[in-house]
Structure 1
């Protein structure tokens, strides 16, 4: 259905024009069948136009393929333009929120923002890629925006991370949660992790329930929606939004492009 809607959206221009071109080869069609500008086609003329369209599509199916490809390209370009404007309008919230956890050089010339969920397997795959990127390039920073979209356990872990941040252990807990076996994040399990990482477990559990942390997560979700983020991971770099997990090589290309611009 999506393909059909994409095809017929511009039918009054692209396909009617194609039909008129076909008709110009037919004897007298241009003079007899096409109405003056501003007048609707008669039923007979419309049937003749549709007949020509069908005939051309049967004889040359590439017309349909090219039309769909052109529409998809136009939609993608429009979406990219809209996202670029949204990113520019959210620059401060994306790259200059002092409350956001991050890794790498705080004064780096290029910052990447990752919207992620701790329980997303593709987000987990990005952890070593980001670590290696920063090891190879000390002029890069990765900013983390927790958006727990995969259920209640994701929400609990996101709260735990922001609570751990208050004790300076965000990245340590992130590593523990995302390199493990995705255990159910019970209070006992999280308290044990907090203790192992050198945190005050009582304060940690108390902070998890702080309304301010819930507000931060809500703000992250609102920002993600404003940018058109539809899943995790989603990476913002150099004025563009890149959906899905990407390789280290692709990350390096994105960073190089951002530096060049």
Structure 2
């Protein structure tokens, strides 16, 4: 009968098999009586030390393998989150929808009004909407760049509550404006598109803004998002401002192959 190490040997590189052998030897000590453990510990520690000194590349290879497994696990967790949180991700009553609300392809963007990359990526989003009549774009307020970003997001939530038909104009005005985005600049942007400041201030006294932002924070945390812009398209999470061509390619693939790569 083959032992467990022989059984799993084909699944691991030779170097990792050597590490597993050492680990198995160390674990076997735990099954020994305490006196035997004390007697053999020094000898085992010497074997491990000499082996690692003679083969230092083992550590690097083990860390590389560990990194690969961690990334694989993180990706599996993201896919599970996309399934478990699909309704709140794509159909939350607190989100903003641009493009075709009934579109067969949905692109979700997590953004921050103080994010320079988000500002540069805005043109890509406009171009995607104009070129894809079947595209639904969902915007998620994800303020991660300080208090000013939180204040701007709070005003944006109020805009979507008070005058949702003017949100797109407000969004573009604030996102592309110069200087720090905060409550003052957000209110100014809203005023410039015809939204009364007193209406927004009244809306901001409710719990809607806080609940909306907390909903997005929780979702982003489950997806492992750490910055903006970040996108979700199909069953794929895309980090960073990857540009129009990359996003459009994934949209075309979804339309033609029902997945982000054909």
Counterpart secondary structure, 2:107: strand
Q: Kindly tell me: are residues 63 and 158 of structure 1, through their superposed partners in 2, closer, same or farther at Cα, counting changes over 3 Å?
A: same
- Shift of the alpha carbon at 1:243? 2.8
Distance 2:94 2:149 in 1: 20
Q: Deviations over 1:18-77 (max 9, x none)?
A: 588xxxxxxxxx9xx996994477456444444444444444433222211111010111
Aligned to 1:90: 85
Report the Cα distance in structure 2 between the residues aligned to 1:224 and 1:151, rounded to whole angstroms: 16
Q: Distance in 1 between matches of 2:20 and 2:56?
A: 16
Return the offset for 1:17.
0.9
Q: Is the 8 A contact 1:115 1:145 kept in 2?
A: yes
Q: 1:15 aligns with which of 19, 25, 28?
A: 19
Q: How does 1:91-106 map to 2 (within 5 A)?
A: 91-106=86-101
Would you say 1:175 and 2:179 are equivalent positions?
Answer: no
Unaligned 5+ segments in structure 1 are 1-11, 21-29
Asked if residue 216 in structure 1 is aligned to residue 212 in structure 2, the reply is yes
SS at structure 1 position matched to 2:242? coil
Q: 2-side partners of 1:192 and 1:95: how far apart?
A: 30
- Give yes or no for contact 1:118–1:178 (8 Å, CA) kept in 2: yes
- Three-state SS of the structure 2 residue aligned to 1:169 is helix
What SS is found at the alignment partner of 1:107?
coil
Instruction: Determine the structure 1 residue equivalent to 2:248.
Output: 252
Q: State the Cα RMSD in Å.
A: 3.1
| In 1: Cα distance, 2:124 partner to 2:236 partner | 19
How far off its partner does 1:156 sit? 1.8
User: Which residue in the other structure is 1:71 paired with?
Assistant: 66
Secondary structure of 1:145's counterpart equals strand
Are 2:155 and 2:183, in contact at CA under 8 Å, matched by a contact in 1?
no
Superposition pairs of residues 1-261 of structure 1, within 5 angstroms: 15-17=19-21, 38-39=31-32, 42-43=37-38, 45-165=40-160, 166-167=162-163, 168-183=165-180, 185-187=182-184, 189-256=185-252, 258-259=254-255, 260=257, 261=259
Runs of at least 5 residues in structure 2 that lack an aligned partner in the other structure: 1-15
Contact 1:34–1:45, Cα closer than 8 Å, also in 2: no
1:19 to 1:162, Cα distance in 2 relative to 1, 3 A: closer
Inter-partner Cα distance in structure 1 for 2:102 and 2:170: 24
Distance 1:47 1:253 in 2: 59
Give the alignment's TM-score, normalised by structure 2: 0.75
TM-score (norm 1): 0.76
Distance 1:35 1:149 in 2: 48
For residues 126 and 109 of structure 1, the distance between their equivalents in structure 2, rounded to whole angstroms, comes to 22
Match of 2:11 in 1: none
Task: Assess, with a 3 A threshold, how the Cα gap between structure 1 residues 138 and 54 changes in structure 2: closer, same or farther.
Answer: farther
